[in-house]
């Protein structure tokens, strides 16, 4: 049976990830993930994707997709950012625990990214990320340079093929799957329609578990009253998306509503007030300042 790798292009759809001067992380993630995935496929690896186009799924759903696929390894693609643009650069790899196959894949990939020109920022344990905590197979999350750093972006664009080839080679070396095939020229890459995303084979949990934004049930005008838990309201969308991503990474069904010139970060949409109260209590226990709104 072929070795199977689940490829996760981070963010997507209404969640752009980090944004800098019009450049959106979700687009870089998808481009690089598809390129690496194609190299792995050409090397005989069975590759499945959490997305192959600009769509959104929660981190919990992505972990579920990977689990249902029976993958042997989960690789999530991201780019980094700092509160002060340009204040950091380089590549790092996040793991649940710095041991075993994730540690080997992380260091192997970082060595290849350093060869391509990125500063090696090391392996970092992150136990609060859903895609590392909820996946049932070894998992790594790649931060391929800082999207708010001009030099990192120039490197990402200028050495794109080398970066994709290096990541694939790092994965194959660490897993013992052999040397990868050379990168396919861009014009020969398959269209997104040719790649099939992994879809969950079981029903998603109830509202008390993480849901996708598509299932958040934010009330339309004229709909019945639904109770939502507000975690913050910001004039600057950057801070709102930082909070959104933090909540999503923790497994909460969060979303943003733009109203009265503010970005309102909210969680859940409940027909019963007691369910909203239960969610607010959970959020408060996790350290968030909250109140219930409709």
255-292 per-position pLDDT tens digit = 888 888 888 899 988 888 888 898 988 998 888 888 88
* pLDDT of the residue at 47: 96
* pLDDT of the residue at 224: 57
Phi, psi torsion values for 147, nearest 5 degrees: -70, -15
Q: Which residues of 159-177 are buried (b: 16+ CB within 10 A; e: fewer)?
A: bbbbbbbbbbbbbbbbbeb
* pLDDT of the residue at 178: 66
* pLDDT of the residue at 239: 85
* pLDDT of the residue at 182: 54
| Nearest Cα to Cα of residue 3 among 181, 177, 200, 182 | 177
* pLDDT of the residue at 274: 86
Mean pLDDT split into 10-residue runs, the chain, 294 residues: 91 89 95 97 95 90 92 97 91 96 98 98 90 94 96 98 98 84 45 37 30 31 69 87 86 84 87 87 88 86
* pLDDT of the residue at 190: 40
Crossing angle of helices 150-158 and 160-175, in 10° steps, is 80
Q: Give CA angle at 116 (106, 130), nearest 5°.
A: 30
* pLDDT of the residue at 125: 94
Task: Kindly report the number of other CB atoms within 10 A of residue 127's CB atom.
Answer: 10
* pLDDT of the residue at 57: 87
* pLDDT of the residue at 179: 61
Q: In this structure, are residues 269 and 226 in contact, taking their beta carbons and an 8 Å threshold?
A: yes
Cα–Cα dist 4/88, whole Å: 34
């Amino acid at each position: 049976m072929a070795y199977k790798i689940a490829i996760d292009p981070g963010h997507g759809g209404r969640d752009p990830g980090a944004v800098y001067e019009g450049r959106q992380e979700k687009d870089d993630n998808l481009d690089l993930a598809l390129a690496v995935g194609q190299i792995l496929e050409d090397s005989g690896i069975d590759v499945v994707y959490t997305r192959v186009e600009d769509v959104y799924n929660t981190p919990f759903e992505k972990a579920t997709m990977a689990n249902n696929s029976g993958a042997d390894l989960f690789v999530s693609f991201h780019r980094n950012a700092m509160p002060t643009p340009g204040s950091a650069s380089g590549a790092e790899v996040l793991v649940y625990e710095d041991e075993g196959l994730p540690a080997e894949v992380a260091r192997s990939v970082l060595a290849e990214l350093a060869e391509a020109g990125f500063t090696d920022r090391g392996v970092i344990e992150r136990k609060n990320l859903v895609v590392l905590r909820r996946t049932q197979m070894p998992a790594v999350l790649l931060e391929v340079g800082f999207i708010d750093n001009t030099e990192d972006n120039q490197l990402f664009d200028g050495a794109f093929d080398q970066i994709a080839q290096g990541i694939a080679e790092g994965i194959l070396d660490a897993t013992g799957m052999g040397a990868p095939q050379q990168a396919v020229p861009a014009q020969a890459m398959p269209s997104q329609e040719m790649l099939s995303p992994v879809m969950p084979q079981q029903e998603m949990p109830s509202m008390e578990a993480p849901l996708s934004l598509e299932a958040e049930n934010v009330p339309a005008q004229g709909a019945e009253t639904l109770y939502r838990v507000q975690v913050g309201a910001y004039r600057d969308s950057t801070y709102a998306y930082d909070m959104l991503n933090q909540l999503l990474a923790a497994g909460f069904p969060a979303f943003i509503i733009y109203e009265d010139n503010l970005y309102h970060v909210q969680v859940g949409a409940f027909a019963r007030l007691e369910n909203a109260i239960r969610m607010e209590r959970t959020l408060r226990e996790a350290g968030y300042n909250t109140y219930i709104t409709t």
